[in-house]
Chains A and B, each alone.
Chain A
């Protein structure tokens, strides 16, 4: 039930809109009834739109209500954040088209769709990436993973090539390429959807590391680094995820098996085969994993020496770095 609000003279309610499929709200018929406010009759300012949608989101239990309305409004006005819009512009009346756009996007957000999917983009370090379900949305922690890889790669001379397993939106490799344009990156993802979003400056392959290792091996030899943000959640934790994560993001990008290490183990197997001597593998993991990974590597992958565990900005063990020891079975760098 709607309650009247202070701005009631701005909005008029066309009765219950449960039965109406308003042309402005492009949401497909969903499990929930369409309980979104109608378009305002009189023109409103951007700030008023932000404030009223903040309230709606809050009442409907949408997570991060303030941020959601601000990001959507900023996006419609052509900026990334509300702070990037001049104060003057925010208090100007919105055009009917812009108002419609805001309403359309906010209605999507009301259904619980993650904000990044609603505005179809998000920032990762210096890049703005396309976001579309079910491709996994990059997390802020991964921005730091790129930082570590970069600081190591910058020291290296000569031709550089890396491999990324589970590229998703391409965030990691595209970021590395931005800073090191001469880098050669081969990226793999088992999902067709992931590949279509990434650009062609990477060599993209639709291959599943769990099933098609041979195919991957045939494509690359002697890379200097292997980077991955593999699915690392414990299966038992999947059920307690936020609804918006569960419903919209690819579970294959999240579920790492009973101990969360199924894909990680396979990545380490691959690493020992494709890395040059002294090449490194960089992983983002669950905070419980580092000691387990170290143990496993020592007993199953002797040639992979555990270098260190790095903490994320919340001081949780988040990143594992392992290095391939010198072996006489080193494959020459012979990329095709």
Chain B
């Protein structure tokens, strides 16, 4: 259950003010068409947000709306044109003298790259044609024919939707790291013990999220505080598309509630930070062992049979960059070393990716990477039992269930994904709304 009845307008305005300030401070205008206050999820249902006139909410377009845009149609035509041009060049060259080897090779590659999209476009056009033909039959006098036509139309609509989604999936550029595993890091921010308690809850939520998706969740580091809170923790997460989803969780999460430690019942705001680092595969990213300095407790003294110690903590420093990773999660030293290497690789890879993708994300609302690290992305308000994501202005209710990291978090995460895809698409089409 996502929507519930709204509080009074005045109350809502007061509580929403911080998030409004946030949005306007960044100077980013949300889509002008937002005054409609409509949110559409996956093109399925329309729900109205009946809180307040001044809440600006991100609009996620439906498939129909996207395909109605001239810019997309133009783009698809452009793709078709390019494909045909390359195909012609490749075919005719077999008959005539070759214009240039390199050029031919490029054209051939383009043909094979574009073929899947073209195929989907052709299939879509065919279905659309089929549908117009079916619609003619809808006006037929014969009742049974009309019913048959109705069924046909339904089937056509379904197929059209599938083809449209397929086309979008093919043309929206995917991030290199989307297929990777990741290292998740949580750190308590402002707010002392209360922030640390909240950090523990958020870490548990992501553990639940990993479980919900069938990902593995191996804790690499876990520094707890005196009152059962969490100062810092990190985990290695792997499984299908985990980075693709989890990347939207990075940033500063804010909690507003009366802390357990509070005696006078005052409301506090505390923060915690989530960082999501993609983990490179062995082949794609290698580190020279000579660049590493590995520190252990056994460094002093004779080592070996001389000494018995239980201190198996390992600290690795990457000398060229100064990046450090440490681990004392396990009793086995070699295991701690492996875990520390995992974290180090993720950190270094993340730095490398940053350089490559920072330009791409410059203009976007949803920031991924270090730029997004200090952005306040979400507020968890316990007294109102709501979670608001500030990037798309989406609010979900039922905190207790949200913190389980199951359907509710998945819903919010999917919406973020949809919106990010949309931003990528609009960028591709050369529109900057």
Q: Which A residues fall within an 8 A CB radius of B? A: 47, 64, 67-68, 71, 80-92, 114-116, 122-126, 136-137, 139-141, 143-144, 147, 229, 231-233, 237, 241-242, 244-245, 249, 253-254, 284, 286-287, 312-314, 316, 318
Contacts and interface: CB of A to CB of B under 8 A. Distances in A.
A10 to B, nearest CB: 15
B331 A80 contact: yes
Given A124-B332, A140-B298, A313-B296, A83 B221 contact: yes
Given A84-B329, A125-B335, A232-B304, A91 B228 contact: yes
Interface in B75-127: none
A82 B196 CA distance: 17
Given A125-B334, A313-B296, A115 B222 contact: no
Contacts of A82: 224
A314 B334 contact: no
A67 B310 contact: yes
A141 B228 contact: no
B187 interface: no
Interface of B: 196, 200, 204, 219, 221-230, 294, 296, 298-299, 302-312, 328-335, 337
Given A71-B310, A123-B332, A254 B305 contact: yes
Most chain A CB neighbours (cut-off 10 Å) among B200, B225, B303, B329: B303
A254 B307 CA distance: 11
Contact of A83 (B228, B294, B328): B328
Contact of A233 (B223, B227, B299, B306): B306
Contacts of A314: 296, 298-299, 303
Contacts of A254: 305
A116 to B, nearest CB: 7
Contacts of B299: 314
Most chain A CB neighbours (cut-off 10 Å) among B196, B306, B330: B306
B347 to A, nearest CB: 19
Contact of B310 (A64, A136, A249, A284): A64
A193 B309 CA distance: 22
A293 to B, nearest CB: 15
Contacts of A91: 226-228
Given A84-B329, A87-B229, A123 B335 contact: yes
B294 A313 contact: yes
Contacts of B224: 47, 82-83, 85-87, 90
A307 B344 CA distance: 33
Contacts of A139: 303-305, 307-308
Contacts of B196: 87
Given A90-B224, A313-B296, A81 B328 contact: yes
Q: Which 10 A-B pairs have the closest CB atoms?
A: A91-B228, A87-B224, A140-B333, A123-B331, A143-B334, A83-B222, A123-B332, A87-B200, A87-B228, A115-B310
Given A88-B200, A140-B333, A64 B311 contact: yes
A90 B394 CA distance: 36
B307 A81 contact: no
Contacts of A229: 305
Contact of A140 (B219, B222, B227, B334): B334
A71 B196 CA distance: 23
B337 A81 contact: no
Nearest to B229: A87
B308 A137 contact: yes
A71 B221 CA distance: 16
Contacts of B306: 233, 237, 241, 245
